[in-house]
Structure formats: C-alpha cells, structure tokens
A and B are shown apart, each in its own frame.
Chain A
Amino acid sequence: MNSALRRARNRQMIIFLLISSGMLVLLSRLYYWQVLQSHSGYNLAQQANQEHTQDIPLDALRGLIYDSQGHILATDVVRDDVYVEPHQFAVDHPANAQGDLNNLILALHQALPQVSIANLQGDFQKDAGAIRVAVRVDPGQSLTLRAMRLSDVFLYPRTWRIYPAGTLASQIMGYVMQSDTESKGVYGLEGQYNHLLSGQPGRSMVETDLQGNPLTVGVDDQQAPVNGTNLTLTIDSNVEYMVESNLARQVQEMQAQSGAVVVLNAKTGAVVAMAGYPTYDPNEYGRAYAATGCLHTEQVYFNPALFCAYEPGSTMKAVTMAAALDQGLITPDVTLQDRGCISYSDAPVVCNWQNMVYDTESMTQVLIHSANVGASYVAHDILGVDRYYPYLTRFGFGQLTGLDDGPEATGFYRQPCQNGWSPCSQNWTMSDLTRQAFGQSIVATPLQMAMVYQTIANDGVMMQPYLVASTSDNGKVIVTQPIVKRRVISQHAAQLLTQMLTQVAVHGAANTAQVPGYSTALKTGTATTQGISTTQTEASVAGFIPASNPQFVILVKLDRPQRDIYGSTAAAPLWGTIAQQLMWDYAIPPDLAE
C-alpha cells in the first residue's frame, strides 16, 4: 500500500471518527433529554403535556327542588363574571397604551355601568395576569360584551343557584353559599340534602389548541359529571304563599315581634306549609346577615318552626287531658270544683287567668274555659308524676322530631330523677308538674306542638313528619312513604279528646277561628314568661279541620303581640283564615249542616 493511499485511508478514518464522535455526542444528548430528563429532573414529558393538554373540571348541575304541584322552587342559571388582563394589555398595546386603555375602560364602563371608571383604572394598574371586575352580570350585559369583542377582556361563566319565588319557603329551603372554589348548601333543605343535590363533578383531560379550545384528536379522557338529585317537596307553593303573606300581615297588624305557622297533613304527617316571619330572600342571603327572628334570638336563616322553642301555654292542656283520658282516669264529663285557685301542700298555688271562678266544671269545660286550675288538678291529683311524664315522652317533648330539614331544637322540660327517666333534673319540684299541665315550665317548638295535635287528629297515632315527598336521582325515583312513629294514645281517647276540642272551638273564646260549614277542633294558648310583664305573651292556636275527618293540622304562634295579647284574639283570626283557604284550595266538602 502506498503512502498516498494510506494517508487517504487515515483521513477517511479521522473523518469517520469525527462523524462518529459527533453522532455519539448527539445521541448522548438525545438520550439525556429524551430519556433521563423525560420523566425526572426537568420532567419534560409532563411539561409538554401541560402545554397542550388541559384537565377541565366539568361541573355537575345541582338538583332542582320542586313543590308538591311541580312548580320549581330552586333552579340554576349561568351568569358571567368579567375579567380583564392588565399584563396582556400592556403587551398588546405597546405604542399607544394610555389612549387605548382609556378607550377600553370607557367601553367597559358603558357595558357595565355598575363598575366605575376609577375602579377599572385601578384594576388595570395592578400587577396581575387577570382581574375580575364584575361578578354575575346580567344576561343582556353579557350579550353586549360578547358583541363588543373587547381585547384583553374575557367572560367566565359560572352556575348560580336561583330561587324563582324569592322569599317563598326560604326558611325551609336554606340557601347555597357560593364562593370561587365551591358551592355548598347551608341551612334548611339545601344544607340537609347537600350531598344529594350537589351531585358528582366530572373532569375532561383533552388536548387543546393555542386558544385552549379542545381538539377532537389526541388524548380525550373524560369522566362525565353526575347531576344532583332532584327533590320534590310536600310543600304546596300556593298554600305556603297564602300562609306566609297572612302571617306577615297578622304579625304587623298585631305589632308582634315574630311568628310561625305550621300546616301538616293530619293523616300522613307531611308538611304542607311552614312559615316564619321575619324571613329573607335566599337570592340575596348576604343582605339578611344582621336580621334576626324568634324574638331576636336567632338569625333569620333558621326555621322558627323548628328552632324557636316557646312555652306552649294552654295548648298544652290537650296533652294533660290526653294522658288522663288514655289511662281511663277521666271522662269528658267528670267534674271538679273550680274556685279560681287551687292550693297544694307540695306546690305553689295555681290560679286561673284573672282568678276566674267556674265552680263545677266538666273536663270539657276545663278546656273551654282554659282553666289552669282544672289542668293542674288533673296532672297533680289524678295523674301524678308516674302517669304524667311518660306521656310527655310519648308525645315527643324534649326530642327531635326528625324532620328532614336541617337543624332543629329539642325543647326542654324538667322531670324528676326516678324510674330511670332521662334526662332528668335534680331541681325538679312538684311546681313543675302543676305548671307543665297548662304549658309553663316546658318549652317546645311549633312543630312539636303541631305533632301533638296531628296525633290527636290521627286517632292517637303519631306520624313521622316529612318534607321531601320524593327524590329523583337521574331517573331513579324514590317516593317517601308515610311512616308511623308510634301510637301515643288509644283511638278512643283521641276521639274523646277531639270531641272536647270541637266543643272548645264552638264555645270557647276562639270564635274567630271558626270556619263556616266546617267543624274544627282546636285549643288556644296565651303563655306568659316569668320575669317579664304579663302583657308580653306567646299567643298561639293549635288544632285541626274538619274535626269529623281531619285533613289538616294548623298551628299559629305570634311572639309578643302588642295590639291583642291573647291566643284567641291575636292568633285565632289567622288560624281561621288559613283553615278557610285550605278548605277552598283542596275542595274539601263542608261537614256541618247549614
């Protein structure tokens, strides 16, 4: 081999080695970026995926809430938030930034008059990528802004809970507290059923273009959202509205501080209407933050029918009579001597209202006269401790009713520590017994008292009260069946007591509660509170209609009425109005001859 050929081969070898070395370097670098840095270190694969794939959350629609007639009480709408992009604006308008900014701000202000020019100028001065300048703008404003196609301004749609009927049944419904990150039902049904109403959000992992629009090709990993369960309530909107508007009128006329009404289906325990006053609009719940109800003891968001416990007063006498009738210890015609006051060796004297003397009076007349003496006599001398307190437990005092509508109060009463009774009070005295007989020294919620009268109306059987008639979970419908809670008193005792309460409606003071053509069974109550003036009362009426075939139980309570302080004059007219309207609305035939 000659030297020229050898040199040529050496050159070839050198070139080959150089190229090979270069290739080796390139391959090493390729290995470094593609393998070593792909899933560790810089994690390039993940960064690349983040560039062109998006994990888009898919909101589940919150379940709708219907009334018993199929009218929507709560639904969802989509409204836009308006954002501006100060950083991007500076990039997009390097030449005439101030002039363009003034034009943009002016255009934005014309579309959104609620946002001031000063605020917009301040927002554009901020060092931020995107700033929200308006929340939940009107649909018309959204359309205007979309048509204007303003640069560096974008709309972001969000779902909002809406209550089309405004304040109607707001204390039953509760509301949805909405923040940027979550929506959560609070108070009422929205809170109680939040887990069902909210559904399950989904997600979609998609490849996107530069503008962030999902592409039909490439990765598409989608988990569909599961919409929330729809609820159908036992509430009748028309009755609810009638009850609420009449309650508001009566509270204002009587110059009361607050009030509550409960209307139940006497046979099933379904809540037909439940109203409180004052109330609030769940569409603007923030405005009611400082408002209070229930004698200014609770925020207005709480349902007073469940939370505003009170001394029931003379409406409690029906419980005392029920206990005695059920045990066969009295009949409606058994008499006592009522001297206006009654003395006990182990308890303070009990007197009638204004020490009224009724002489010989039957048990029916005790209820007609609303005589404290007769009621305490039955509790103390006829029933006694052992035969009285078990009936308070059976009627549900001091216990939750279990209504499916969020938090409720249990009420309270003192009972002696004997027979394993719980809870009991070491401070209990016989004075508690003699006063509980006519509704003092015991506090109960309006719903608890309504359930007492539902029991009497339903032949002694207490039903489980309920608000949700059915749920519809994406086609799977579950209908609530009425549930018997327990038998409290015998059918015979319930019927005797119904006759006695019917006599109260006819001969008692609450003649304004009578409904022409219909028999009613009811009892009024005027409770005073120890330590304050006797003119500061809780005026109430509880009863059912028609007495011959009870359909509805109605309880009306006014807190501290000033114009008329008695149950028979302040609350009874409202009871009569509601009862009359119910008979018309449900076309219930009259049961009394003309």
Chain B
Amino acid sequence: MNQQKTPLRGVQQRRARGSSEQAWLARGRRRFPHLFSRIGPVTLTVCSVLLMSLMAILYLYQQGQAVTTNQQVQALRNRQAALQRQNADLVNQIATEQSPGYVAAFAIRMGLVPANAQRVQVTNNP
C-alpha cells in the first residue's frame, strides 16, 4: 500500500514545487524591470564608470605587480650572473695559487731552497 502511495505523493509535490518556482520567476520578471526603470541614466553611467574604473585599477595593479616581480627576477638573475662570475674568478684564483709553479715561486720568495738529494736519507720503516 505504502509503495503505491509514495510515487503519487512525489508527483504532487513536484507539481506543487513547480508551480511555486514559476510564480517566483514571474515575480522576478516583474520586479527587475521595475528595479531598472527606477535607475536613472546618470546613476547607470556613474555606476558603469565606477565599475570600469575599478576594473582598470585592478588591471593596473596586476600589471604593476607583474612589472615589480619582473624587476625582482631580473635583479636576481643579474645577481646570479655576478655570483657565478665571482665564483669562477675564485675557482681560478684557488687553482692558480695551488699550482706547483706558484707554490715553488712563493717558497723561493720565503727563502726555501731545493733539497740536496745527496743529503736526504730515506728510511724503510714499516
């Protein structure tokens, strides 16, 4: 019994709901023309200008942010290039100062002299 009554109740509910939606839309259609008819052309123009100005400001703000970010990125790239360059120079400097010729010349400047092979004793200690 219940199984037969339930679909009937559902159809009735949908019909009832459908009729109420149609009524609400009809009211809306009546209400909006009424709303726009009450906004004068000046108000509409001012609102439009304000809206467009707001959009323009947002756009300009976004562009400004992009430009600022771009400048920051560019500055970072320049900094990176400068650091890479500095790193290469330091690597070169270290390699130069580790080279045997540089060390030998430095040792000579310090007063060191080459060892006399005849005076060097090599011991075979385990």
Contact = CB atoms under 8 A, between A and B. Distances in A.
Interface in B84-126: 84-85, 88-89, 91-92, 94-96, 98-102, 104, 117, 120, 122, 124
B70 interface: yes
- Most-contacted residue by chain B among A77, A168, A580 (CB, 10 A): A77
B117 A577 contact: yes
B13 interface: no
Contacts of B85: 77-78, 157
B99 A165 contact: yes
Interface stretch (A125-133, A210-218, A465-473, A526-534): A210-218
B98 A71 contact: yes
A168 B99 contact: yes
A217 B66 contact: yes
Given A217-B66, A590-B122, A72 B91 contact: yes
Contacts of A213: 70, 74
A245 B114 CA distance: 12
Contacts of A245: 104
Interface string A69-92: 001110111100000000000000
Contacts of B81: 157
A584 B122 contact: yes
Contacts of B95: 71-73, 75, 164-165
A391 interface: no
Given A75-B91, A577-B117, A165 B122 contact: no
Given A71-B95, A77-B92, A216-B66, A237 B117 contact: no
Interface in A490-531: 516-517
B56 interface: no
Contact of B124 (A72, A78, A589): A589
B122 to A, nearest CB: 6
Interface string B7-23: 00000000000000000
Contact of A78 (B66, B88, B122): B88
Contact of A164 (B69, B99, B122): B99
A215 B84 CA distance: 21
A168 B92 contact: no
Contact of B96 (A164, A238, A589): A164
B99 A75 contact: no
Contacts of B69: 216
A411 B32 CA distance: 104
A222 to B, nearest CB: 13
Interface residues of B, number: 26
A409 to B, nearest CB: 29
The bracket for how many chain A residues form the interface is 35 or more
Nearest to B69: A216
B49 interface: no
Contacts of B122: 516-517, 583-584, 589-590
A241 interface: yes
A217 B73 CA distance: 11
B99 A580 contact: no
Contacts of B70: 209, 213, 215-217
A306 B94 CA distance: 31
B117 A580 contact: yes
A15 B15 CA distance: 55
A162 interface: yes
A216 B73 contact: yes
Given A217-B66, A589-B124, A165 B100 contact: yes
Contact of B89 (A73, A77, A242): A77
B88 A241 contact: no
A139 interface: yes
A213 to B, nearest CB: 5
Contacts of B104: 241, 245
A384 interface: no
Contacts of B89: 77, 139
Interface of A: 71-73, 75-78, 139, 157, 162, 164-168, 209, 213-217, 237-238, 240-242, 245, 516-517, 577, 580, 583-584, 589-590
Of all A-B residue pairs in the complex, the 8 with the closest CB atoms, nearest first, are A241-B100, A164-B95, A165-B99, A72-B95, A164-B96, A78-B85, A589-B124, A216-B70
18 contacts: A72-B95, A73-B95, A77-B92, A78-B88, A157-B85, A165-B99, A168-B101, A213-B74, A216-B69, A216-B70, A217-B66, A217-B70, A237-B99, A245-B104, A517-B124, A580-B117, A589-B122, A590-B122
